[in-house]
């Protein structure tokens, strides 16, 4: 059993998910401080935190620690460099809190524009100060979004209904993606000069610390509003203090150098302040807890390293493609047959996936066998393939095929007879959903690999699909989705059926024999 320490007030969903696997022993204690807990639980394998500071001293007190999961987006409270030095992976859960923060930005802007807080206080005191609280409308204004990750894009979507002009800055986002959220991409200086409202959504790193400085702030319009729900360190507080007085800038803030009670250095310049409530919703807490547990399990079981922030994990790649690479390879391995000895592996990565081909090999290799030690990195993955005598080739993708952001995995195996069998599967991700586009000669499948599924390949002839359905129905198994393509080239048909529950091996054998299947197997993609 691997011990997981949760020294924070996190939704119990994380504990439930981890313990349900039977492979983790969870200790959750939000009353004792982290250094004391670390001293008591030196055998901890994984640590799940929120805003707790994970210092070198804490890390040294946990000699068996291998993973730290930040249940949230920012990870500046964790010494990620020291963790890397100790061989510890640090992960975060981007997107889990995204909607909560995006909605908070809109709430702050509207509350300030319409004087909600002071208006409430004076009205409760018996005053009637309508003239004093003349507000402003958001409609028709220009909003600049600095950082177009999960939160920034959600802010754009949430504000789109207010009939505003959206500007954005992000060196990583593609023009196509920016167009999808109706954001005009600009350099920072121009964004600050043109915006009525500017909202910050970038992490605090060495290269971003103090990024919003006097040069940028001095470009702001008189009376413009700056919103910071990201990190305190990205803003030069002294510069804002000076420019605010000159240009009457409004400043709305939810982040501080330290999350604790006591005087706040920005109290004199903040027009509206909250105690870091961005992620403080019931929904965000539940999402973060669930994601933290699922990411730890996926790292251990599938080698999915998409959320590791202190390893060479590429930015700009949707984590769904890591899952896709794992799923396609698993499917290939099952199609190849349990008795086939793997001889070669070939991959093709199309479109925007090409630059990430080395990294995508990690989930590919992980899917080949349960005997692989976790977690892998690129070097370990290549060493494993070489050690196993598996030939590897990453083909140069042909852009003329127009397989946008898709991948093809080919496996060749040697059967007991000495003959070779080859399997080829292509897939992609559509609106966040994994899709299998082709299996061998069977193209345009558009099958979502999800849940209990059966595969039958048989000589093409009428009535076979009905036989399969009848066999499943007799066992009270319902069919939820079907794909049944035919290949004139080989005169074969493929039946793919997603079901409502598992199929016993004996039933698979019975159906396979009754239809004289050339190949048949059952696989639960959710397992």
- Name which of 30-34, 244-248, 360-364 the model is least confident about: 360-364
Q: Identify the domain containing residue 479 by its residue range.
A: 450-527
User: 378 and 454, same structural domain?
Assistant: no
For residue 384, the model assigns a pLDDT of 64
Can you spell out the DSSP letters for 444-506?
---B---SEEEEEEEE--TTHHHHHHHHHHHTT--EEEEE--EETTTTEEEEEEEESS---HH
Question: Which of 387, 414, 449 is the last residue before a domain boundary?
Answer: 449
Q: Is this model's pTM higher than 0.85 or not? A: no
Asked if the structure places residue 43 within a domain, the reply is yes
Say yes or no: 358 and 409 in one domain.
yes
Report residue 260: phi and psi, to 5°: -165, 160
Residues 492 and 362 in one domain: no
In which band, very low, low, confident or very high, does the pLDDT at 312 lie, cut at 50, 70 and 90? low
Q: What is the CATH number of the domain that holds 526?
A: 3.30.70.260
Q: Does the pLDDT at position 270 exceed 50?
A: yes
- Indicate whether 308 pLDDT > 70: yes
Q: Note whether 187 and 256 are same-domain residues.
A: yes
At which of 420, 449, 478 does a domain end? 449
| Tens digit of each residue's pLDDT (9 = 90 or more) over 88-122 | 999 988 778 889 999 999 999 999 999 999 999 99
Domain end residue (candidates: 408, 429, 449): 449
The CATH number of the domain where 130 resides is what?
Answer: 3.40.50.720
The two most distant CA atoms of the chain are separated, in Å, by 92
pLDDT above 60 (res 184):
yes
Number of domains, the chain: 4
Strand partners of residue 493 = 458, 486
- Distances in whole angstroms, Cα of residue 484 to Cα of each of 151, 277, 288, 478, 501: 41, 51, 39, 17, 20
Across the chain, mean pLDDT equals 90
Quote the pLDDT of residue 232.
Answer: 94
> pLDDT (tens digit, 9 = 90+) per residue, 474-504?
999 999 999 999 998 889 999 999 999 999 9
Pick from 63-72, 292-301, 364-373, 512-521: least confident: 364-373
Is residue 137 assigned to a domain? yes
Alpha-carbon gap, residue 92 to 68, rounded angstroms: 8
Q: Are residues 248 and 113 in the same domain?
A: yes
For the chain, percent of residues with pLDDT exceeding 90: 68
CATH assignment at residue 414: 3.30.1330.90
Q: Give the whole-angstrom CA distance, residue 316 versus residue 216.
A: 26
Q: Is there a single domain that holds both residue 104 and residue 153?
A: yes
Both 76 and 126 in one domain: the answer is no
Q: In angstroms, rounded to a whole number, what is the distance separating the alpha carbons of residues 324 and 429? A: 8
Residue 126: other Cβ atoms inside 10 A: 6
Helix (H, G, I), strand (E, B) or coil at 392: strand
Residue showing tokens 């609280």: 133
Q: What is the mean pLDDT of residues 75-88?
A: 90
Q: What is the pLDDT of residues 7-18, one digit of tens each?
A: 998 999 999 999
Q: Report if residue 278 sits inside a domain.
A: no
CA–CA gap between residue 4 and residue 79 (Å, rounded): 19
Per-residue pLDDT tens over the stretch 137-179:
999 999 999 988 778 989 999 999 999 999 999 865 656 678 8
User: What is the pLDDT, as a whole number, of residue 491?
Assistant: 92
Does residue 308 sit within a domain?
no
Both 80 and 121 in one domain: the answer is: no
User: What 3-state class would DSSP assign to 403?
Assistant: coil
The DSSP code sequence of 75-120 is: -TTB-HHHHHHTT-EEEE-TTTTHHHHHHHHHHHHHHHHTTHHHHH
Residue 133 lies in a domain: yes
DSSP 150-211: HHHHHHHHHHHTT--EEEEE-SSS-HHHHHHTT-EE--HHHHHHH-SEEEE-----TTTTT-
Domain assignment present for 401: yes
> How many other CB atoms are there within 10 angstroms of residue 224's CB atom?
22
Query: What percent of the chain clears pLDDT 70, i.e. is strictly above it?
Result: 93
Co-location of 250 and 118 in the same domain: yes
Confidence at 365, pLDDT banded by 50, 70, 90: confident
pLDDT over threshold 80, residue 444:
yes
- Mean pLDDT check: name the lowest of 61-65, 248-252, 257-261, 291-295: 257-261
Say yes or no: 7 and 41 in one domain.
yes
Instruction: Examine the pLDDT at 373 and tell me if it is beyond 80.
Output: no
The answer to whether position 343 is within a domain reads yes
For residues 84 and 216, state if they share a domain.
Answer: no
Q: What's the confidence (pLDDT) of residue 369?
A: 62
Instruction: Please say if the pLDDT value at position 252 is more than 50.
Output: yes
Question: What's residue 378's pLDDT?
Answer: 63
- On whether both 320 and 440 belong to a single domain, the answer is yes
Residue 307 domain-assigned (yes or no): no
């Amino acid at each position: 059993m691997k011990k997981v320490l949760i020294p924070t007030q996190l939704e119990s969903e994380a504990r439930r998910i981890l313990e349900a696997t039977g492979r983790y022993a969870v200790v959750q204690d939000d009353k004792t401080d982290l250094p004391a807990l670390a001293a008591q639980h030196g055998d901890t394998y994984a640590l799940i935190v929120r805003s707790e500071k994970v210092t070198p001293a804490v890390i040294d007190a946990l000699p068996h620690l291998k993973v730290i999961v930040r249940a949230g987006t920012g990870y500046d409270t964790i010494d990620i460099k020291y963790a890397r030095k100790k061989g510890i992976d640090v992960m975060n859960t981007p997107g889990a809190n995204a909607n909560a923060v995006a909605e908070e930005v809109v709430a702050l802007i509207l509350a300030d524009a319409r004087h909600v807080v002071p208006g409430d206080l004076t009205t409760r005191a018996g005053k009637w100060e309508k003239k004093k609280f003349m507000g402003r409308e958001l409609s028709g204004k220009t909003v600049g979004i600095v950082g177009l990750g999960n939160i920034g894009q959600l802010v754009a979507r949430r504000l789109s209904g207010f009939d505003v002009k959206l500007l954005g800055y992000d060196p990583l986002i593609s023009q196509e993606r920016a167009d999808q959220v109706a954001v005009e991409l600009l350099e920072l200086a121009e964004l600050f000069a043109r915006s009525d409202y500017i909202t910050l959504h970038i992490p605090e790193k060495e290269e971003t610390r103090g990024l919003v400085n006097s040069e940028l702030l001095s470009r702001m319009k008189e009376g413009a509003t700056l919103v910071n729900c990201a990190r305190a360190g990205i803003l030069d507080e002294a510069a804002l203090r000076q420019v605010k007085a000159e240009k009457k800038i409004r400043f709305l803030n939810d982040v501080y150098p330290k999350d604790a009670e006591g005087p706040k250095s920005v109290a004199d310049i903040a027009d509206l302040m909250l105690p870091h409530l961005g992620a403080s919703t019931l929904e965000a807490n539940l999402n973060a807890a669930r994601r933290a547990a699922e990411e730890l399990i996926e790292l251990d079981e599938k080698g999915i390293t998409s959320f590791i922030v202190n390893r060479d994990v590429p930015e700009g790649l949707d984590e769904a493609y890591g899952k896709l690479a794992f799923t396609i390879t698993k499917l290939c391995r099952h199609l190849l047959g349990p008795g086939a000895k793997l001889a070669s592996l070939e991959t093709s990565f199309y479109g925007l996936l090409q630059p990430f081909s080395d990294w995508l090999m990690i989930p590919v290799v992980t899917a080949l066998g349960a005997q692989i030690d976790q977690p892998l990195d690129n070097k370990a993955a290549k060493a494993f393939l070489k050690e196993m005598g598996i030939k590897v080739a990453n083909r140069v993708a042909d852009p003329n095929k127009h397989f946008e952001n898709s991948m093809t995995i080919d496996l060749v195996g040697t059967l007991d007879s000495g003959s070779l069998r080859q399997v080829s599967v292509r897939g992609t991700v559509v609106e966040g959903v994994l899709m299998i586009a082709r299996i061998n000669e069977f193209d345009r499948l558009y099958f979502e690999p999800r849940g209990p599924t059966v595969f039958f390949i048989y000589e093409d002839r009428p009535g076979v699909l009905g036989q399969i359905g009848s066999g499943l129905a007799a066992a009270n198994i319902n069919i939820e989705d079907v794909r049944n393509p035919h290949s004139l080239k080989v005169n074969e048909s493929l039946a793919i059926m997603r079901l409502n529950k598992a199929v016993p091996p004996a039933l698979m054998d019975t159906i396979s024999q009754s239809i004289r299947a050339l190949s048949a197997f059952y696989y639960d993609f959710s397992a």
